[in-house]
Each structure stands twice: as structure tokens, then as C-alpha cells.
Amino acid sequence: MRYVVVGSGPAGISAAEEIRKIDPVGPITMITADPHPAYSPVMLTYWMSGRYPKERLFFRDIGPWATDHQVDLRCGEKVTAIDVDRQAVTLSPGEVIAYDRLLIATGAVPLIPPIPGIRAKGVCTFRTFADAEGILTSRRDLEQVCIMGGGFIGIKLACYLRERGLSVLVVEKEPRLASRIFDQRASDIVKEHLRKHGLSVETGAGIMEISNRDGWVSGVRLEDGRIFPAQILVVAVGVRPNTSFVEAPIAATGGGIPVDERMETSVPHVYAAGDVATTRDSLTSSPFSNAIWPAATRQGRVAGANMAGRRRAYVHNFSLNALNLYGLQVASAGHSLEQEGDDIRVFREEKGNEYRKIILKSGVPIGFILTGDTSRAGLFLSRMKRGDIIGNPAELFTRISHAPSGLPPHMGFRHGSLWPRCKDGVCP
């Protein structure tokens, strides 16, 4: 069996490892356009804060890893086409590599909004190691940074740039920070907390124009007419699946590549995992892109096992996010924005920065938001996964001082996000 893995992120790496456990001899070729494979985009913000060395970004020592797992690693090369009839991929130099099983794990690329001035020098995205380096090195006199986008990535980046002593402005067009997962109360708590730590935060007013001086960013004008100075503008308004080389019949719809519970596409022997894949929300069965590190890792394992001949299903698929913002713990999962209705009940508890919200559908938890005290996150998650009917929701809000036993053994809160627990630098 010949395996080709396109992408060297958590999905691609975990798939290759799973394949090798099951098939110790089948050749594996891993192709990645990134010259710095096997690093964590999640950790880029910690490196940028100055607290983490560059070496901490890499979750695998890729050279020895490739040797140990007998992987033919092709760095700095791009796949330009897939021929599903011939079962082969074409690389940018024109080389053709045949496969029996193919995994597409190319992640996502940043969205760039069509705003006047967006092509000025000093306008950056934040997705790769090169992006992070560019933000820190493009201006020697860097003092003022504007971040367009108040999602989790934008918020995290803002905090760590502030730790470097920079003046940071976050501009979010929506009325709420992280509007896809935060309700208004959670957003207000986070916004006020960030402001107390020296960040400027503007919500409900998008950027209309980027001004420049001598070709470099000099400031931004908001929709309400206000102007703010900036030497660097970081665009963090979202991503789209990296499917530029994918055509029918694999058929990327809505941007992502649809897969079944085995992570297989509509084309036999072609799989997708990670940010590029569109799965099914296990709570609603609706199409869903679960663009978080633990999900990519689990999807990669499932894909790798099925590619090597086993039968495994990807389950418990719903949104899950966690942050630590200057000591303020924040967690959100599932359908946290559902409104009270015929079969929907919403329960809240609040004291200062501690805000708890859980949503039940027909008595079963389908989502929650926690700020301040996230100790019950594991319990909420386990109840969601099991589909437990909650008779008395008040019991879920009982204060405890430690993580509940319901926390999945392979998951934990680390560095402000849910990460696999690692031992001696090796993560499952």
C-alpha cells in the first residue's frame, strides 16, 4: 500500500503515525509547502511574547521523526493537482507521485478583506511562522499595532504583543468579541478584562480604510469615522480551507472538503482531515469545520487508521475552545448561542468575572460558556458526549476546586487552550 499525505500539521503527522502503527512497511510520502514542518500555529503567540524559545514551537523533531517512521518527507513542495483516475498527485516542479491512499491535510489560509489600502506594507496575516516573524521584524521602530478581528486568534495575539510592550488596538466589526462562540455577557467580561490590562478594544465598528505613509501602514479609519494610528495591521478575520489544488469530483463545497465519519471523501481512497475538512456536527448533524488542534489530531488518527485498513469513526465532533487571558480562564463548547425556545432552556449564573451558561435541548446539554471559573468544563463536556438528560441544571453549577473526573484523559487545559497532555515532549 502506497500512502501520500499532503500537509505536515497535526492532522498529517498523526495520520502518518497511525498508518505506521498498523502498516510497518507501506511507503509513506509526506508533502508540505511549509519550509518549517511540524510546528504549532497555536504556539506562535507564546513565542511572539518572548517567553518561549523557537524550539518550543515544534511538536515533532521532524528529521528524526521522518527517519523513525520511514516517511519520505518533501518540504517546500506544493501539490498542484490530483488525478483520481490515475491515483496520483502532481507537484509544482511537474513530478508525479502515485498513491493507493491519499490524505489531504493542508489546513487553512487567512481571509483578506477587500479594504482600501489593504496592500500597504505592514499589512500582515497571522497563520505561519513566517507571518509571526514578519510582524516582529518588519519595523524596527514598531510601537503601535492594530489587529483586525476579535476572534480567539486576534485576542491571543493582542495579549502577547502587549506583553512585548507594544500599544495594541483590537477592532472587531461584530458587536461582540469572538461572536461565533461568545454571547454578549461573555464578550463584555473579556473586553473589560483586556482593557484593564492596557489593550484598546473596539467592537461594532469595522475598518473602512487603511492609510499609509510612503507605502507603509500609518493608521486605520473605522466605519464611524474615528482614526487610529498604527504601524502594523494584522488581519485576523478568519480563514478558508486550503483547497486551491482540489477539483471535482472531490468537490470542495462551501470551501471545505466534505468527509464521512471515516474521514473519507466522496472519492474512494481519498481522505481529508484537519481545518481543510468539513465534517458533521455530532449534536446537529449539520456540516461543520472544527478548526482546532485537538480535532485535527483526532481526525488525523481516524483517517490514518482507515487508510491502513482499519475501520474507525470520528465521534464527539463539536466546537471546543479555551483561553487564558491574563489569568481570566475562558471556555466555550457546542452551541453556546442558542436562544430560549420550545425545547431549548438556557441557565445562567454570574458573579463578577465568573459567568456560567449552559444550554439544554430536550434536557440534554448542547453547549456552554464559562468565564473565570472553568473547573466544570470537563463535566459539561462528558455530559454532552454521553447525551445525558439533566434533571436539575443547578447541580451543574456546584462549585468545585478541581477538574472533574469527567474530563477526558487525553485532554487538559494547557497554555490557554485544550491540548493533548504530553509526556517528555511527546503528545498522543
Distance between CA atoms of residues 242 and 105, nearest Å:
9
pLDDT tops 60 at residue 164 = yes
Residue pLDDT, tens place only, 367-413: 999 999 998 898 888 889 888 888 887 777 764 434 443 333 333 33
* Of the candidate ranges 27-31, 338-342, 368-372, 390-394, the one whose mean pLDDT is the lowest: 390-394
Please check whether residue 312 lies inside any domain of the structure: no
CA 409 to chain centre: 21
Judgement on whether residues 300 and 382 belong to the same structural domain of the protein: no
From the CA atom positions of the chain, what is the Rg in Å? 22
Of 168, 164, 178, 228, the residue nearest 200 (C-alpha): 168
Q: Are 331 and 152 in contact (CB under 8 A)?
A: no
Judgement on whether residues 294 and 219 belong to the same structural domain of the protein: no
- Choosing from 307, 339, 356, the residue where a domain stops is 307
Q: In the structure, what pLDDT confidence band is assigned to residue 420 with cuts at 50, 70 and 90?
A: very low
Angle between helices 184-196 and 152-163 (to 10 degrees): 10
Please check whether residue 69 lies inside any domain of the structure: yes
Judgement on whether residues 271 and 364 belong to the same structural domain of the protein: no
Judgement on whether residues 105 and 244 belong to the same structural domain of the protein: yes
Judgement on whether residues 286 and 344 belong to the same structural domain of the protein: no
302 or 42, higher pLDDT: 302
Please check whether residue 12 lies inside any domain of the structure: yes
49: enclosing H helix or E strand: none
pLDDT tops 50 at residue 352 = yes
- Choosing from 280, 307, 334, the residue where a domain stops is 307
203 or 294, higher pLDDT: 203
CA distances from 349 to 355, 358, 404 (A): 6, 9, 19
For residue 199, the model assigns a pLDDT of: 97
Judgement on whether residues 227 and 133 belong to the same structural domain of the protein: yes
- Choosing from 237, 255, 283, the residue where a domain stops is 237
Judgement on whether residues 39 and 145 belong to the same structural domain of the protein: no
Q: In the structure, what pLDDT confidence band is assigned to residue 254 with cuts at 50, 70 and 90?
A: low
Instruction: Find the distance separating the first CA and the last CA of the chain, reported in whole Å.
Output: 25
Please check whether residue 427 lies inside any domain of the structure: no
Please check whether residue 371 lies inside any domain of the structure: yes
Mean pLDDT of the chain: 88
* Of the candidate ranges 21-30, 180-189, 247-256, 315-324, the one whose mean pLDDT is the lowest: 247-256
Please check whether residue 118 lies inside any domain of the structure: no
Most confident of 129-143, 174-188, 240-254, 278-292: 174-188
Distance between CA atoms of residues 322 and 23, nearest Å:
35
* Of the candidate ranges 97-111, 223-237, 286-300, the one whose mean pLDDT is the lowest: 286-300
Give the count of domains, the chain: 3
pLDDT tops 80 at residue 423 = no
Judgement on whether residues 103 and 193 belong to the same structural domain of the protein: no
Q: In the structure, what pLDDT confidence band is assigned to residue 253 with cuts at 50, 70 and 90?
A: low
pLDDT tops 70 at residue 173 = yes
pTM value is: 0.88
Query: Can you read off the three cell numbers belonging to residue 410?
Result: 487525553
pLDDT tops 80 at residue 215 = yes
Judgement on whether residues 192 and 280 belong to the same structural domain of the protein: no
- Residue 286 is part of which domain span? 3-109+240-307
Please check whether residue 166 lies inside any domain of the structure: yes
**CATH for 326:** 3.30.390.30
In the sheet that 328-334 helps form, which strands lie side by side, from edge to edge?
320-325, 328-334, 364-372, 354-361, 344-351
Judgement on whether residues 91 and 175 belong to the same structural domain of the protein: no
Judgement on whether residues 190 and 338 belong to the same structural domain of the protein: no
DSSP string, 316-371: ----EEEEEETTEEEEEEESTTPPP-SSEEEEEEEETTEEEEEEEETTEEEEEEEE
Distance between CA atoms of residues 354 and 373, nearest Å:
6
Distance between CA atoms of residues 48 and 389, nearest Å:
44
Beta bridge partners of 158: none
For residue 41, the model assigns a pLDDT of: 78
120 or 394, higher pLDDT: 120
Please check whether residue 314 lies inside any domain of the structure: no
**CATH for 34:** 3.50.50.60
Query: Can you read off the three cell numbers belonging to residue 304?
Result: 490514518
Distance between CA atoms of residues 138 and 151, nearest Å:
24
CB atoms near residue 409 (< 10 Å): 8
Judgement on whether residues 295 and 210 belong to the same structural domain of the protein: no
